[in-house]
Chain A
């Protein structure tokens, strides 16, 4: 079993839809959770960073962490064609050198 599981998609939605992206994980020591957006042929760009459980909102993006279920989500409201990209979840445990464990990424296509 992989430490982090993420549905690769692709996920295709119409413009304006609410998008839900998810990851599950197996290591209960993970405390730091991140979402990255990666456009084709570019490096990942940090979207959201949360510590422990709870919600965090930034504009159209909301990140949720449910540590009891080992489940994290990223919601995108009012999705735009410019949101079309691959979304990667990543997480790490306290201590050490900050080793991030990444999901494989979900490809999202928002069509006009």
Chain B
């Protein structure tokens, strides 16, 4: 069966510091991969998605970037964090288009 791992679970970073969040999927090949941000009491906002190695599409212009160096690895990065980057970041995968997405347990990011 497929599993998704995200780490770290919690992260506290100062303003202006860099960021790297990692997500890996096991048990499947060539999944679609997604990064979301969830603000308190609000729905999920899609940040990036990828349908293959090296292919990244951005949904929202922002201070963040994403990369997919390997088939089942998805990384969310920033060179300089802003206070507004605080939130709950979720990685997800799906087998194909129009198939349900499956989520990791997220990273709670606090910027001080």
Cα-based distance from A44 to B36 in the complex (angstroms) = 11
Are A97 and B43 in contact, with the CB atoms below 8 A?
Answer: no
Asked if B26 is at the interface of the complex by the 8 Å CB criterion, the answer is no
**Which residues of A lie under 8 Å from residue B32 when comparing CB positions?**
97-98
Cα-based distance from A90 to B98 in the complex (angstroms) = 12
Interface size range of chain B in the complex: 20 to 34
Task: Tell which of A34, A43, A99 has the most Cβ of chain B within 10 Å.
Answer: A43
Cα-based distance from A32 to B102 in the complex (angstroms) = 15
Task: Tell which of B44, B97, B104 has the most Cβ of chain A within 10 Å.
Answer: B44
**Which residues of A lie under 8 Å from residue B30 when comparing CB positions?**
none
**Which residues of B lie under 8 Å from residue A104 when comparing CB positions?**
41-43
Q: Is the interface of A mostly helix, strand, loop or mixed?
A: loop
Asked if B94 is at the interface of the complex by the 8 Å CB criterion, the answer is yes
Asked if B71 is at the interface of the complex by the 8 Å CB criterion, the answer is no
Contacts A8-B41, A43-B90, A88-B43 known; A97 to B104 CB distance under 8 Å?
no
Cα-based distance from A20 to B111 in the complex (angstroms) = 37
Cβ-closest chain B residue relative to A44? B103
Minimum distance in angstroms from B28 CB to a CB of chain A:
15
Cα-based distance from A112 to B49 in the complex (angstroms) = 41
Are A98 and B105 in contact, with the CB atoms below 8 A?
Answer: no
| A42-74 Cβ-contact flags toward B at 8 Å (1 or 0) | 111110010000000000000000000000000
**Which residues of B lie under 8 Å from residue A44 when comparing CB positions?**
44, 90, 103
Cβ-closest chain B residue relative to A51? B98
Are B42 and A43 in contact, with the CB atoms below 8 A?
Answer: no
Asked if B101 is at the interface of the complex by the 8 Å CB criterion, the answer is yes
Contacts A41-B108, A43-B90 known; A100 to B41 CB distance under 8 Å?
no
Measuring CB to CB, which residues of chain A are less than 8 angstroms from any residue of chain B? 4, 6, 8, 31-32, 34, 36, 41-46, 49, 88, 90, 92, 94-100, 102-105
What are 13 inter-chain pairs, A to B, with CB distance below 8 A?
A: A43-B103, A43-B104, A46-B100, A46-B102, A49-B100, A88-B43, A97-B51, A97-B57, A98-B96, A98-B97, A98-B99, A104-B42, A105-B41
